Structure formats: C-alpha cells, structure tokens
Structure 1
Amino acid sequence: MIEKTANSKLNSETSLRAALCHAPVTIFALPKAFVGDANQIQKNAFRSWSQLSPAVDVLLFGDEDGIAEFAAEHEIAHVAQIERNENGTPLVGSAFSMAHAVSTSPILVYCNSDVILDRSFTDAMEALANQDQFEHWLAIGQRLDVPIDRELDFENDSQRQWLRRRCDSHGTKSSHVCKEYFAFPRNMFQAVPPFAVGRGNWDNWMVASVKPDGAPVIDLSRQVKAVHQTHDYTHMKASRMKCYVSGEEARENERLAGGRNLISGSTCTHRLGPDGIQKIGLLRAGLDFLGDVPRFAKLMTQLLLSR
C-alpha cells in the first residue's frame, strides 16, 4: 500500500524554498536526514551542484531533518511532499513525476545525494543537449569512490585543488553496476514504477527499460568526474545485502522491475567522447566487461560480508 500525495496540488501543498531559474538542466535528489556523516556528505554534494557553471537548477525532495533548512539557506528549490511506501521509504517514481511537473528544463538528472559534480558534468550536458542523433537517450557514468573528511567550499580555489589531489591520491573506480546519476531528456521517464529509494534493482531497470525501444545508453565515464564520497552504512536499518538484494523492499523493487536486469541494466550502448557520441563495438564492450570483473567481485564480497 502506498501513501499518496496529490501531485496536481503542487502549488498549495509543495514548499519551494527558492524559485527555479529554468536552467537547461535540473538535478534532483531524495536526500537522507542531515545527521551524522550524511550531514557533511550531502552539504558537499549539493553545494557542488549549486555552484556548477553554467548554472543548473537543483531540486530536493522530502521532509527529513535538515532538508528544508539547508534548502532555504542555500536558495535551493525544495519539495517537502513525497509519496512513501508502507515502510515510510520515499518512492523514486514520485520524485520523477514531481520533477517533471516542477521543472521546465529540457534535461533532467536524478543524482544520489553523496556525489560531488564539477564542470565536466555541465560540459557533458551541453554536449548531449547539442547532439542531434537521438531524440530519446539515457546517460550514466562510472563513479570515483573518494574518502572526504571535511566540508568543502567550492568557491575556494585551494579547496578545489585539495579535492583534485584527493581524487588523484585516494580515488578508486567503482564497478559499473554502481550507478549514481541518470541524465535524460524530459520526454522520458515521465512515469516510473513506485520503487523504494536506496534499495536495489530500480537503477538497473532505468537502463534496461530504454533498450527495447532502441534508445541509446550513453556512457559519460570518460568525460565526467562523479566523486562519490565514501561512507559507512550505519544509517541503514538492515544490512547492505538486505537493502540491495534480499530484503523485502529490494525484492519488491525486483518484482516491479521485472527482474534484476544486472547485465542489461549496467551496460552502455554508446559513449560520449571528445568527438561526440559513438557506438560501443562488441570488442570494446567485451573488454570493458572483463575489466570490471574485479571491481564487481569486490562489491559482491562486501555485500556478502554485510549479511
């Protein structure tokens, strides 16, 4: 059973802490409460988004502790209402639906709340906006896992330089199955199943669902630095294995997705490079798959140890 909110009454039931500026790109997210490690991590992520150039609209959903206050302080748009399942977990489909309703941007991006983005991301969005090969597309990219031990001021050049050095010295590429953001034109994903956020299988559905219609899945990994701030999982009420694979909500996500879609939901058909969007050949796809095996094995070992 799903607790409903009326998306049609956004003007009266929605709290927008700042007006959207109708930028070409809107990045939206479902943050956790601003407590513990998530406080610093989310502040870093959202500050990096709000200071991107060219400017993007940032849109936060949910009423967990600290979201409204942070959004008001930083003049970030905020929608407090969100549909939840019977366990109280926010639903991804609700955020996608309201992002379409609230934003006017030609490109929408769902991004996890622990990811720092830089100018490489907006450069990639500009390249996608200017391409004329495809009307429908989905863009994803590999993340870089980096331990960050401080709040960052992205207007401070010395701190930006510190982050670059930190990425070079401590950054580790994650497996391709770990998807942190989804960029797409607003004519896509207007209706998304009621997946529970923070649980497994819905992200694979995002990728697998566009392939039968021939829409390209574009890999931005070579162009975009997506810095995932490493963290523990003490905020979870269950183990990582239960959250992502074996738990009730993960299994419900799997049912809604029509399966785990592990391979079809983690592989790209095209790649963005300096010369534009190119199709990934079978040989290149095979080499990429083999190169990812050690990272995937490491991830699975971590999940198994968390049971």
Structure 2
Amino acid sequence: MLTIFSNPKPFTGLFKIIQENAIRSWLLIRPKPEIILLGSEKGVGDICRRLKLVHIRDAKTNRYHTPIVSDIFKKAQTKASYRIMMYVNSDVIVVNDIIKPIKSISFSFDSFLASGRRFELLIDKPIDFKDKDWREKTIKTVRSKGYLKGPGWMDYFVFTKGLFGSIPPFALGRTFWDKYLIWKATALKKPVIDMTGSFFAVHQTHLKNKDIKHVWEGIEANNNVLLAGGWSHGLSLKQARYRLDKKRLIKKNPDPVELIGNKVKAIFDKTPFVWPLFFRLRRLKNGL
C-alpha cells in the first residue's frame, strides 16, 4: 500500500544510530511498506542488504555534492510499487500507525498531499524495538523531554504518485524546498492535509554542526528560493486547507494573517538584494 523513500546521510557516528533507529521504525509499519533508500553514501548499501530494502545507488548531486530533490522524487516514484508515496527524512521515527490516517485521507481524496509537524527529542542510542512497549515509552519521553516544532518544520510528505509533476532541482537539506511542495500542491488545487493530530513523527535531535548555517542561508539556500520562483512560492502547514485529527477530516478556514503574509512575500520576490538579511532573520527566529 505504501512506498517510503529517503536519501540518508553516511552511516557514521551518531547518524549511524539515529538513521537505523528511524529505518527500523518504518519496518514495523503494518502492512509492511516498501522502503527505498537512495544514494551511495557510506553504509547505505549495507543497510539495504541487511534489512532487504530497495537501493537506488545512482542519485544525482549538485556541484556542492548535495543531493537533488527532483532526482530523488523522480527515481523513487519510477521504482515504487505502490501509488501512495511517503518521503521522510532519514532521522525521523514513525511512532504510531500511519496507515489508518492515510486510509482516512484516501477515502476522501483520490489525489492529495499530507504532511505534519515533527516532535523533537534528543536520542543518542539505539532503540530497543523488541520491547513491545517501545512506542508508549517513546511518546511518554517526548511528552516529558521533547517538544512539537512549528508548522514550517515538515520532515515527511505523503502524496499520490505523480502529484507534483516536475519539481525544480532543489538542494536537499537546504531551506525552502519543503515549503515549495505545499505551494505546488495548493497551486494545482490539490487538497493539502495537516496530519499532525493523527500521526506521531519524532525527529531525533542531533547536535548542531558547523554546516547548519548553510541550511538556512548561503548559495544553495538562495538558489532554492530562486528555483521555487520566489518567497511567495513557499507555504507552511498553516496554509493547509484540511487537518486530520484522530481520523476526523476537518476543513479549515483561510487565515487572514497568512493571506497578508503571502502578499508581503510577493514584495520580497521583487527585492532580491534584501534576501540575505531575510535569510539571517529566519535563522535567528528559529534559534539556529
């Protein structure tokens, strides 16, 4: 029923632990999903062999050796056995049942995009998935030590194959490409659903590194906004027209504040000389 795909970082150090935690949690979804990993980073082929996952070794990168979003989505959709696709970042644990929310959405819409906010939790050791209570324990720990990120922090996208058509060659792991997907589905008049209330996704926090700045500002971040067509071509879950709470699909009313914000973004589209300042302010706002 579901094909999950991701483009992992090298399986070294902390990322070996948290990425294997994430992938093993995906394998516990029932019915068992098809899982596709892309790229030739260290350890990707090995985990695909060990866990019997589909491996697409040939994944394009840009001149900065950053994976390209359009290539990842195109190759995964071409290889996928199922119509419902899920892109998820390789450090995100799937805690509760995602199949039921997907079935609820599929019952209402033939074609759609669904995403949700992520919970943040510091995890630095392997999870014992043999413990039958690992889900309850994880949720309890998140409630006490973690927190829910804002509507712009989207680490997974569930969508029907072929929904987006062509996607610009965004740099993965840099700002804005995720918000473009929300905008594109909205522009295509496809339903966008916020499934935060029905799906528990946990991002395993890893320490900030020297490259964190390049995620939010710099050449690749700037190029992503240019490729999208400007700031007005990026939306968050605030602009999702529906939300799914415990199987109940609710249509949301447009937020007047967000409509004004979109008009402000259109002004920024015409003043690229202030973009570096805007990038800096966004990074500071998010505490990065």
* Identity across the alignment (%): 29
Deviation at 1:119, TM superposition (A): 3.3
Alignment-derived partner of residue 79 in structure 1:
56
Deviation at 1:299, TM superposition (A): 7.6
- Moved >6 Å (runs of 4+): 283-286
Match of 2:231 among 254, 260, 263: 260
Alignment-derived partner of residue 21 in structure 1:
none
Deviation at 1:241, TM superposition (A): 3.2
Say yes or no: does 1:178 pair with 2:158. Answer: no
Unaligned runs of 5+ in 1: 1-23, 290-297
Task: Indicate the SS of the match to 2:55.
Answer: strand
Alignment-derived partner of residue 214 in structure 2:
242
Deviation sequence 1:18-45 (CA, Å, 0-9, x none)? xxxxxx1111001000112111110000
Alignment-derived partner of residue 271 in structure 2:
none
Say yes or no: does 1:197 pair with 2:169. Answer: no
Match of 1:222 among 197, 220, 227: 197
In 1, Cα distance between the equivalents of 2:237 and 2:221?
A: 17
Task: Indicate the SS of the match to 1:43.
Answer: helix
Indicate if the aligned counterparts of 2:176 and 2:234 stay in contact, CA closer than 8 A: no
Deviation at 1:122, TM superposition (A): 2.0
Task: Indicate the SS of the match to 1:141.
Answer: strand
Match of 2:105 among 128, 133, 137: 128
Alignment-derived partner of residue 94 in structure 1:
71
Indicate if the aligned counterparts of 1:89 and 1:197 stay in contact, CA closer than 8 A: yes
Report the TM-score, using the length of structure 1 for normalisation. 0.80
Alignment-derived partner of residue 20 in structure 1:
none
Alignment-derived partner of residue 13 in structure 1:
none
Indicate if the aligned counterparts of 2:101 and 2:247 stay in contact, CA closer than 8 A: no
Amino acid at match of 1:156: D
In 2, Cα distance between the equivalents of 1:140 and 1:161?
A: 22
In 2, Cα distance between the equivalents of 1:201 and 1:178?
A: 10
Deviation at 1:277, TM superposition (A): 2.2
Amino acid at match of 1:253: N
Say yes or no: does 1:31 pair with 2:8. Answer: yes
Structure 1 residues 167, 81: closer, same or farther in 2, change over 3 A?
same
In 2, Cα distance between the equivalents of 1:282 and 1:196?
A: 30
Indicate if the aligned counterparts of 2:35 and 2:54 stay in contact, CA closer than 8 A: yes
Alignment-derived partner of residue 43 in structure 1:
20
CA RMSD, aligned part only? Answer: 2.3
In 1, Cα distance between the equivalents of 2:179 and 2:75?
A: 21
Number of positions where the alignment pairs a residue of Structure 1 with one of Structure 2: 266
* Farther off after superposition, 217-226 or 259-268: 259-268
Say yes or no: does 1:139 pair with 2:114. Answer: yes
Alignment-derived partner of residue 66 in structure 1:
43
Structure 1 residues 74, 285: closer, same or farther in 2, change over 3 A?
farther
* Farther off after superposition, 48-57 or 158-167: 158-167
Deviation at 1:161, TM superposition (A): 3.8
Amino acid at match of 1:230: T
Deviation at 1:128, TM superposition (A): 2.1
Structure 1 residues 157, 198: closer, same or farther in 2, change over 3 A?
same
Indicate if the aligned counterparts of 1:83 and 1:90 stay in contact, CA closer than 8 A: yes
* Farther off after superposition, 151-160 or 105-114: 151-160
Say yes or no: does 1:104 pair with 2:81. Answer: yes
Report the TM-score, using the length of structure 2 for normalisation. 0.85
Task: Indicate the SS of the match to 2:119.
Answer: strand
Structure 1 residues 147, 191: closer, same or farther in 2, change over 3 A?
same
In 2, Cα distance between the equivalents of 1:96 and 1:57?
A: 15
Structure 1 residues 247, 284: closer, same or farther in 2, change over 3 A?
closer
